[in-house]
Amino acid sequence: MSAATEIVLERGERSSAPSALRRPRGAAAALAKYGAVFETSLRNQLAYAGEAAVRGIFLALILFVFLQLWRATYAAEQTARIAGLTMAQMIWYLAVTESIIISRPSLNSVVDNDVRTGDIAYTLIRPLGYAAYHLANYLGERVFRFVTTLAIGCALALLYVGPVPLSAANAVAALLTLALAVLVDFLLSFGIGLLAFWMEDTSSVFLIYSRVLMLLGGMMLPLDVFPGTFGRIVRALPFGGLVYGPARVAIGAEGFSIAGLLAQQIVTLGACAFLVGAIYRAGIRRVNVNGG
C-alpha cells in the first residue's frame, strides 16, 4: 500500500516542475527515505501480534523461574540486598534485561541470507545504502518488539514482586544508554551476517555472541555479583554496556557512573563502526555479478 502511494506521488512530482524542485535533498531526503523504511518496518510488526504474545509467554516462564531462584537465594543468604539490589529490584532488573535480549531481531540471518543467495547484488543497486536500510529496518522492528516485551515484563514484575521506586531522570538516562546499546548490537549483528562472505554458516557465530551477551552482558546476573578479579575484568568489557548498563540505570543507579557507561558505549560504538565498515568494504569487493 505504501509502495503504491509512493509511485503515485512520484508520478505527480514528475508532472509538476515546482514540486520536483521542492523534493528534499541531502540529509532531509535521507531522513525521509530511511524514515519511511523505519515506519514500514514498525507497521509490519503490528501484523505479528501473535509473536508478541509468544514472547510474553516465554518471558512469564523465565521470570517465574528466576523469581523462585532469587527468592531461594535471598532466603539462603539471609540478606535484604544482593549486589545493592533488593529482591524486588532484582526481578525488575531481570525483566528489563530479558526484554533487551528477547527483543533483538535476527538481523544476522537476513544479511547472511542476502550474501549467500546473492540477493545483496540487487539491494546494492537500489538508491538506498545497504547498511542504512538495514539499520532503519532493524530499528523499526526492535522498537516495537522492545516496547511490547518491556510492557509485558513490567506487568509481570509488578505481579510477582510489586512496584519499585523509579525516577524520570533515570528513565531518560536509561533510554539514552539503551539507544547506544542498540546501535552497537546492530553493528555486531550486521557484521556477523557479513561474515557469510567467508563462512558457510554464520548462525553459530551469532549463537556464541548471543550467549556471551547473556552471560557477560549481565542478562542473567547483575555484573556486580561476579566475584574478584574476574568480576573486574567482566565489568571492564564492553558487553555490560549493552545489557547490564541500561538495566542498572533504569532501576536505580546508586554508586553507578552513568557518565562512565556513556563513555564506554561511545568508544565501543566507534570501534564497532570501524571494524564492521572494514568487513563490509572487504566483503563487497567479493560480490560478482554475472549476466542479467
Name the phi and psi angles at 23, rounded to 5.
Answer: -60, 130
* Minimal distance, residue 161 CB to another protein, in Å: 16
Distance CA(51)–CA(54), nearest Å, equals 5
* Minimal distance, residue 89 CB to another protein, in Å: 17
In this complex, which beta carbon is closest to another protein, that of residue 131 or of residue 156? 156
Which residues are registered as beta bridge partners of 82?
85
Distance CA(178)–CA(203), nearest Å, equals 25
* Minimal distance, residue 151 CB to another protein, in Å: 19
In this complex, which beta carbon is closest to another protein, that of residue 38 or of residue 144? 144
In this complex, which beta carbon is closest to another protein, that of residue 56 or of residue 178? 56
Strands (E), 188-283: none
* Minimal distance, residue 257 CB to another protein, in Å: 23
* Minimal distance, residue 221 CB to another protein, in Å: 6
* Minimal distance, residue 200 CB to another protein, in Å: 4
Between the two ends of the chain, the Cα-to-Cα distance in Å is: 29
**Cell numbers linked to 254:** 546508586
- Please give the distance of CA 57 from its chain centroid, rounded to a whole number: 20
Rounded to whole angstroms, what are the CA distances from 20 to 6, 23, 27, 96, 174?
14, 5, 17, 47, 42
Rounded to whole angstroms, what are the CA distances from 278 to 97, 206, 262?
30, 19, 24
* Minimal distance, residue 78 CB to another protein, in Å: 11
In this complex, which beta carbon is closest to another protein, that of residue 58 or of residue 133? 58
Contacts of 104 (CB under 8 A, 6+ apart): 142, 145, 185, 189, 210
In this complex, which beta carbon is closest to another protein, that of residue 57 or of residue 271? 57
Positions touching another protein (CB under 8 A) are 50-51, 54, 57-58, 61-62, 65, 68-69, 72-73, 76-77, 199-201, 203-205, 207-208, 211-212, 214-215, 220-221, 225-227, 230
In this complex, which beta carbon is closest to another protein, that of residue 166 or of residue 215? 215
In this complex, which beta carbon is closest to another protein, that of residue 49 or of residue 266? 49
Distance CA(127)–CA(114), nearest Å, equals 17
